[in-house]
Structure 1
């Protein structure tokens, strides 16, 4: 799980083109010397003397001819210089490309054009030689599967590069490589120096998991300690991080909303459009609200370094039993195409994906109800990312991400199971023939559009400045209309919409030339407009048709339009006290304002609008101490905050209610978190161990007071636990690893005693493990296990209606190089285990229609090729 790569800037910077990945190495020229293509041990830095000043003192050497000759090992590149010797190039590897710069050279070919040769030999996709705007010559050699290896020599004054194609391996580890993240502190920082528990999920790990499914929640469950086990649902209700709420960002744009009716903030992007995910476990108010359990920062796909690159990915899936697929309606398929292009100063990436899913089947071969799952859905995701270097220190990035999911469910949960004695498993029934929805959407829908523009300046008054403006629109419709006349006197369907726009500005100012101490400071602002309505359907048409005809006759407000303004001002100090000890400490001022105009509830109550204000300060401080070069101890105190769902209060306001007078919101829920841990990074072993305790004195709901306004419930709550992760590479062909997370928690009851929290808040013990082997060259196999344990503490306390039972699942992932691409096979639930997720078990005693089993054995076959 621990990738050992050097990342320059995840928020958009990548070399000179606004890209994310910058790997550096070095090239030494004497007698024939191996040109290493291993991951870089340190970032590529500019020469101590500016290139232009150096060139002014040194005559340039003209490259007058280039030959590329195929050899038994690969190719030989000869740079002809009319007898004058070239200076040794400096180099770096970027993706599958090896890039070298010769500062004292100029390309002087007869045609006056750059040199390019495509596919000169097997394993080599492109050789290019170009002049650079700032002076010097750049040589780029792109491998088909991996960066090439090169030996350098001279021959009668000419520079000779003997190129051998690189071989893709399952493990690519460098003992000096350093992983760099930005999420935890908003600035580029080595992972070993961060006094927090951070999990980094690389593109390769994401692509591995998508061989099984495209559910981001399932992927995080498999790879992140402390993230609860899969729920089997499209929304994230019932999933938590360390027993608390999760804040999700995509390229810095918040995906959470205060309108909590459908918490689907992980169903907003195709996982294959993701470059990298950073997860900060524990409260984190550095980026804003909702991160009381942790922060998930999703960085979208970055353009490749190659001049142009295409990727095609197609696949299909279905349920299988006894060696045969169960039914045609269980088949699904997906396709993705992406293209990226890069020059010295610009970059672009475009990606489009489409996925269609069929009905799911359990381990017994029975259909599973499609409601609240991603079964019988169609998804489309469009990603566009553009980058431009304005000058050597200024860059712009623009990102457009559009995601849409539609469900046309033919199989719903049979309500008759509620009438059968005992706890029954949910069963699927087909919608009656002739079912129609007239004048309204005929199924569930989620639609998200993210737009963001980022600006970077690496040298503004001796500081680094980053600015961002963004817009997000999130709309949803709650699926098949429901006969809710028992509760609301309506047959209804509930669409909603949230629009967010805002910006971030941060400045990182070093205090000394060595940059061992710096202050990050800035401001964040988000304005959120939310509303939710009821589509009302004709009860007579519904009854006369036997529940088959839904004809829309009206639309009324369920949650009235309201606005949330979130202003944050922050400062964060980073100080390397010594070579071994690093301090991180900061504070954030939070100012929240909620406004709603006068409105009438769906029950007909007139409500006087008004404005609510809340403010507070949150703090963090942490120390990281390097016990050895490979082992770091860390400890931290951090705070996060969360605002109650205001819409829940507004929609059920009684007659005569006044927003400003009848809601007392003086401060958000604040969570204090204490953590201590160890993190190790040895040659073939990476490990982490952390223990934590968090506490909050306020809840996220309101309660009435006698003769007074609604006020935030005082509901003291504590959560504590231990998390561990281990990855081991015992040889070039083997990888093994595991994560463990065990936590517990209580809240204070009316008697002042702490009572165990329910199992949706506190998930059972979770253990994951994997073993991966390159069985033959180019053929990789991985077995991975997920164990969700028993938990009866909630049942004994009366917060669960039944004990939670354990289960184990086993998955197989296999891939083989084929035809210049990769053929992949994924088998989810390999042993066809019949089990119920924790979510289903929790609701089973009082809502058997929600007691859905998990899918049985599920097979996915896909093929991906990049060219």
Structure 2
């Protein structure tokens, strides 16, 4: 309770109205909070967000563009705006990044990007933000988009169709440079997108190229490169996008979306180990990296048919195919050693994760005849995923090819009572999951154990329900219960088997993770004040935690309990064009790490984020706009034996200026405006005896851009 009061007091100076109302949306400005009239497609309904017992945020295109200009990526933008989202690692890997203490499901137009069988933690880098119109965020465990959303859903909705006949263009040119203007730290990006409409037919195609330089910290030193998980710095990325649509005379729409994204490191630097004892982080120096450079490639093709007037209801059909290829950095790790290949114990290798997904979704929603206040939605989802992880240099199998299949019918209902004063919502989703793995042999470092394959299956009925009350215009209260479903990182579990005689069919560690989310929320949106607060708690009897063993993270199955509080406030001040806002999140997570039957051990930094306060001021007048924002990550202590894992906390300030000229919008953004020197949260709390993985954060960085539309 002490931590919750601290957050409330931190926001109180923003507005005298805060004493009467608080905010759960956790975004940072009026433009970045969800509008109750907006339909959130990730919720699988045409009803507005105000009709759902959920905490929802919508980051619109203007807010997303601004944050991406400040921080460089969609993941960093979402992390900057949502206090319940953990600090990013500032690397290509998103391992350990969480929403409300659990892994979120990344999606593009509702298509999952997460790989359930062997989580490569690259799902935040599968599309360039230039092609994203908005990001829909649904907080907390849920099964609205199927498997994987134990922390919530981050749905990236791509740009829409051109609104008028003829040809239209959109371009972007930007330049980034560090505080010291070092040439090797300069980055550049160019993007172009063309839209064409001719009556019922429309097409949008585009491409981007971005070259990133080396990163420098607040002391002017190069940030250490992560040679294993992969880097954002010193990398190039290419992206191509296409969207083609046709409006039928009946009002239905056919649409095809294609996307290809590739990010590849240039491998111009090698890591120089730091020294935790003296507080000196690892740095980088020019050098040659052995093996193939870490990279991430994602391809997506989808087809959809939507009909808003099909039998007095809305019909939606979507099919998709996607594949990803993730290459990780290598090393002479004990896990990779095999005396039969290299008896000297100096064998170099690196892993590659490859996955392909095929799936489809169909749903139908309508008001019930004779009971128009009841809206029912019924549908069916199917997902087929095939994933394998190999060692690229020697061709060995680390994780065997595994086939995952999920079939899930669902039904949702929303009933309005007393003229909409009260709404009851709820539904069921039946998950039928099967995993197929052939016989395989583990690596020599695990004992070269022969494992009998199998086809374990799971069946779960997932529930959700809630109530929404709107007693007066602008005030909304809700309570809800929802269950989310995923499987633990099967690949990590399978590759780590060391005991002989294991049969995949009855191996306990493959049991699914069922997480739930109980939530109470209150929202206010009236008189220039948008405010809300929510309290949530979730649990899973058989959770999934990452634990470091033998140089790599493996999965431990332990019960998990998480509770938290979120609050935010946005105030349109009497000063024309000026708004102030703030957000706060406090999280606490427990598990049974020592297996004594008591859930009393703190989740570590790889599994829970620090408490946080966001503050921001926005100003807009005519062609000019500006924003200043602060992100305050509060200190956190863990009740483990090592005080080295405690997080000291830090505050980052960012700024943004723009001017809309006749030829386009000229913008200047500054990340870490005060050039604060800090150690990233992951480095400060995880693997605290490893001097190589002791990374500082990015120092002051400027980005100038020109966006044009014509």
Q: Same fold (TM over 0.5)?
A: yes
For 1:360 and 1:186, the matched residues in 2 are separated by 40
1:361 aligns with 2:216: yes
Q: Deviations over 1:829-860 (max 9, x none)?
A: 11111111211101362112111111111010
Residue of 693, 700, 705 corresponding to 1:857: 700
2:630 aligned residue: 785
- Contact 2:391/2:398 (CA < 8 Å) preserved in 1? yes
Q: Does 1:581 align with 2:437?
A: no
Determine the C-alpha separation between the residues in 2 that align with 1:456 and 1:799. Answer: 55
Give 1:201's aligned residue.
Answer: 59
Is the CA contact 2:585–2:612 (under 8 Å) kept in the aligned structure 1?
A: yes
Counterpart check, 1:599 vs 2:599:
no
Seen in structure 2, the aligned counterparts of structure 1 residues 612 and 637 have a Cα distance that, compared at 3 Å, is same
Counterparts of 2:539 and 2:439, CA distance in 1: 37
- Note the alpha carbon deviations across 1:407-439, whole angstroms, 9 max, x for none: 012222224x46x8555411223215xx665xx
| Helix, strand or coil at the partner of 2:43 | coil
Q: CA deviation at 1:820?
A: 2.4
Correspondence for 2:508 among 664, 668, 693: 664
- Whether 2:559 is the aligned partner of 1:559: answer no
**8 Å CA contact retained: 1:474, 1:499:** yes
Question: Secondary structure, in 3 states, of the residue corresponding to 2:69?
Answer: coil
Indicate how the Cα distance of structure 1 residues 565 and 476 shifts in structure 2: closer, same or farther if over 3 A, else same: same
1:226 corresponds to 2:84: yes
Q: Is the 8 A contact 1:613 1:666 kept in 2?
A: no
Residues 834/702 of structure 1: CA separation in 2 closer, same or farther (3 Å cut): closer
Q: Do structure 1's residue 688 and structure 2's residue 537 form an aligned pair? A: no
Does structure 2 conserve the Cα–Cα contact (< 8 Å) formed by 1:760 and 1:838? no
Distance in 2 between the 1:799 and 1:806 partners?
A: 17
Q: Distance in 2 between the 1:637 and 1:197 partners?
A: 12
Contact 2:224 2:696 in 1 (8 A): no
Separation in 2 of the partners of 1:857 and 1:268?
26
8 Å Cα contact 1:525-1:568 kept in structure 2: yes
- What is residue 767 of structure 1 aligned with on the other side? 613
1:615 aligns with 2:455: no
Q: Which residue of 2 aligns with 1:569?
A: 409
Q: Does structure 2 retain, via aligned residues, the 8 Å contact 1:361–1:367? A: yes
Q: Which residue of structure 2 aligns with residue 318 of structure 1? A: 177
Quote the Cα distance in structure 2 between the aligned partners of 1:238 and 1:655: 28
Match of 1:757 among 603, 614, 626: 603
| One of 576, 584, 596 as aligned partner of 1:740 | 584
1:530 aligns with 2:380: no
> Please, which of 337, 346, 366 is the counterpart of residue 488 of structure 1?
337
Report the secondary structure of 2:50's partner residue: helix
Q: How far is 1:761 from its partner?
A: 1.9
Where does residue 484 of structure 2 map in the other structure?
640
CA contact 1:214–1:271 (8 Å) conserved in 2: no
Q: Report the Cα distance in structure 1 between the residues aligned to 2:691 and 2:177, rounded to whole angstroms.
A: 26
- The equivalent of 1:474 in structure 2 is 324
Q: Distance in 2 between matches of 1:835 and 1:511?
A: 57
Tell me if 1:459 matches 2:300.
no
Sort the Cα spacing of 1:676 and 1:833 in 2 relative to 1 into closer, same or farther, 3 A. same
Bigger CA radius of gyration: 1
Contact map agreement 1:362 1:855 (CA 8 A) in 2 = yes
Q: Distance in 2 between matches of 1:380 and 1:802?
A: 38
Q: Residues 375, 567 of structure 1: CA spacing in aligned structure 2 closer, same or farther, 3 A cutoff?
A: same
Any idea what the Cα deviations from partners look like across 1:739-792, whole Å, max 9, x if unmatched?
111111111342222222113322111111111113x53121111111100011
**Which of these residues, 281, 295, 306, is aligned with residue 139 of structure 2?**
281
Task: Specify which of 651, 668, 671 is matched with residue 808 of structure 1.
Answer: 651
3-state SS of the aligned residue for 1:648? Answer: helix
User: Matched residues in 1 for 2:597 and 2:455: separation?
Assistant: 33
Q: How far off is 1:313 after superposition?
A: 0.7
Report the CA distance shift for 1:678/1:343 in structure 2 as closer, same or farther (over 3 A). farther
Q: Distance in 1 between matches of 2:565 and 2:247?
A: 44
Within 5 Å, give how 1:391-430 maps onto structure 2: 391-415=249-273, 417=274, 424-430=280-286
Within-5 A mapping of 1:380-399:
380-399=238-257
Shift of 1:653: 3.4
- C-alpha deviation, 1:637, in angstroms: 0.7
Deviations 1:498-552 (A, max 9, x none): 000010111113213674212111111100000011123xxxxxxxxxxxxxxxx
SS of 2:682's equivalent?
helix
Aligned partners of 2:89 and 2:681 also within 8 Å: yes
Distance 1:268 1:686 in 2: 33
More deviation, 694-703/494-503? 694-703
Corresponding residue to 1:244 among 90, 102, 110: 102
Inter-CA distance 799–758: structure 2 relative to 1 (3 Å threshold):
farther
Give the CA deviation at 1:249: 1.0
TM-score normalised over the length of structure 1: 0.72
Q: What SS does structure 2 have at the residue aligned with 1:826?
A: strand
Partner of 1:17: none
Larger CA deviation: 310-319 vs 601-610: 601-610
Which residue of 1 is the match for residue 666 of structure 2?
823
Task: Provide the residue aligned with 2:287 in structure 1.
Answer: 431
SS of aligned partner of 2:696? coil
Note closer, same or farther for the CA distance 1:665–1:789 as it changes in structure 2 (3 Å cut): closer
Q: Secondary structure at 1:811's aligned position in 2? A: strand
SS in 2 for 1:181: coil
**Pairwise CA distance, 1:393:** 2.9
- Separation in 1, partners of 2:31, 2:179: 35
CA deviation after TM superposition for structure 1 residue 665, in Å: 6.3
Say if 2:176 is the partner of 1:328: no
Question: Are 2:113 and 1:270 equivalent residues in the alignment?
Answer: no
Report the alpha carbon displacement of residue 819 of structure 1 after superposing the two structures with TM: 3.7
Look up the SS of the partner of 1:840 in the other structure.
helix
- Residue 577 of structure 2 contacts residue 619 of structure 2 at CA under 8 Å; is this kept in 1? yes
Are the equivalent residues in 1 in contact too, given 2:582–2:614 (CA < 8 A)?
Answer: yes
Change in 2 beyond 3 A, CA 1:629/1:623: same
Q: Tell me the C-alpha RMSD between the 2 structures.
A: 2.5
**The one of 205, 209, 215 aligned to 1:350:** 205
The residue matched to 1:205 in structure 2 has which SS? helix
What is the aligned length?
A: 656
Q: 1:294-313, CA deviations, whole angstroms, 9 ceiling, x for partnerless residues?
A: 11111111123132210111
| Conservation of the 8 A alpha-carbon contact between 1:171 and 1:733 | no
The aligned residue for residue 337 of structure 1 is 192
Structure 2 Cα separation of the partners of residues 485 and 171 of structure 1 = 51
SS of 1:848's partner is coil
CA 1:673/1:388 → structure 2, altered by over 3 Å: closer, same or farther? same
The CA deviation at 1:348 is: 1.6
Comparing 194-203 and 607-616, the one that deviates more: 607-616
* 3-state SS, counterpart of residue 582 of structure 1: strand
Deviations 1:642-684 (A, max 9, x none): 2012212322334754534551368521112110011122142
